[in-house]
Amino acid sequence: MSASSLVAEPPREYLYLPALVELLETILLRHGCSAEVARSLAQNCAQAERDGAQSHGVFRIPGYLSTLDSGWVDGKAVPVVEDVAPAFVRVDAANGFAQPALAAGRELLVRKARHAGIALLAIRNSHHFAALWPDVEPFAEEGLVALSVVNSMTCVVPHGADRPLFGTNPIAFAAPQAQGHPIVFDLATSTIAHGDVQIAAAKGERLPPGIGVDSLGQPTQDPRAILEGGALLPFGGHKGSALSMMVELLCAGLTGGNFSFEFDWSRHPGAKTPRTGQLLIVIDPGKGAGQGFAERSQELVRQMHAVGLKRLPGDRRHWQRERSGEKGIAIACQQLEQLRELARKQ
């Protein structure tokens, strides 16, 4: 028996997805979001919690609220969609959240991708505070291939540099598979997500070696030292660093959004959401040569299992999704009470 199994789990309550969405929606409405924005963020956040993606589940709600209260983000923003070229859609999120901006441009994006074989959605002036897989997975469920990148806030030291510059800059990819769930991965280009550093700090846990540095640039396993003036490192040394650079270029250089180091939220105490950009590339694999793409995906997965692979990216999420579907989403009673209190507050 490990030492951690001797530590009692906090008591939990189980909520089904619609109930959690409704609770989060009420909270967001009470904190200045429009009905559309509240629904979109609540669904995103509840789905993350359902799938056990805790770094971007209900743990994020206080950050959303302090940001809304600080005036840094517009919870009622109405995104502006621009049809700029046969395969290019731009969305100005109008200083609102990225998810409603994606929703606003989605139909045009899919129409263009089906027509041209490929299309881009470039979102700027947007805040993304969530997991990225919910943005790509639905495209693969419709038979499309999707890739998305989003940049965040300066907290990662480029490989070979002395000080932080990049964000944690995730990359998410989704592809249809003939049987079973689409193939989806979603990974920060930093060693770990900033959210996981915050969770480790809150739990008083140490991090594995090689994750980050303290304010003097010295390696540290103390999450608080990373949060208080230190920084994370890119995953995989120069390789992850190059991918993070690419994300900055695609999300800011291309969309017209901010680089992770460009926005100044210092006059908005409580602001936590990066004001940057997001890029989505959607491909209609039906335009490709050869056999059906989804069957080819299936074959690749089959061969990966044949050489001994036990876990594909996304397997853990789907396992957790199934459990949450059966039993409900497990939330610590104390955390749930705090959420209910926020929903009651005017």
Residues marked active site are found at: 55-56, 196
SS3 210: coil
Question: Which of 137, 196, 248, 284 is close enough to bind ligand NDP by CB under 6 A?
Answer: 196
Residues 6+ apart with CB under 8 A from 194: 152, 153, 155, 168, 188, 232
Q: What share of the chain is helix, strand, coil (3-state, %, to 5)?
A: 45, 20, 35
- Using rule CB under 6 A, residue 92 touches ligand NDP: no
| Stretch of 44-52, 188-196, 245-253, 325-333 contacting ligand PYC, by CB under 6 A | 188-196
Other C-beta atoms closer than 10 Å to the C-beta of 100 total: 26
What binding mask, one character per residue, do residues 124-163 give for ligand NDP by CB under 6 A, x or -? ----xxxxxx----------------x-x-----------
- Using rule CB under 6 A, residue 63 touches ligand NDP: no
**Residue bearing tokens 């959210």:** 195
Residues 326, 327, 328: CA angle, nearest 5 degrees: 105
Beta carbon of residue 327, minimum distance to ligand PYC (angstroms, whole number) = 27
Question: Which of 64, 72, 129, 173 is close enough to bind ligand PYC by CB under 6 A?
Answer: 129
Residue 88 binds: one of ligand PYC, ligand NDP, none (C-beta under 5 to 8 A by kind): none
Residues 6+ apart with CB under 8 A from 58: 20, 24, 45, 46, 49, 331, 335, 339
Residues 279-308 that bind ligand PYC (CB under 6 A): none
Would you give the DSSP letter of residue 237?
T
Would you give the DSSP letter of residue 250?
I
| Stretch of 30-38, 88-96, 112-120, 191-199 contacting ligand NDP, by CB under 6 A | 191-199
Summarize as ranges the residues that interact with ligand PYC (CB under 6 A).
55, 129, 152, 168, 188, 193-195, 274
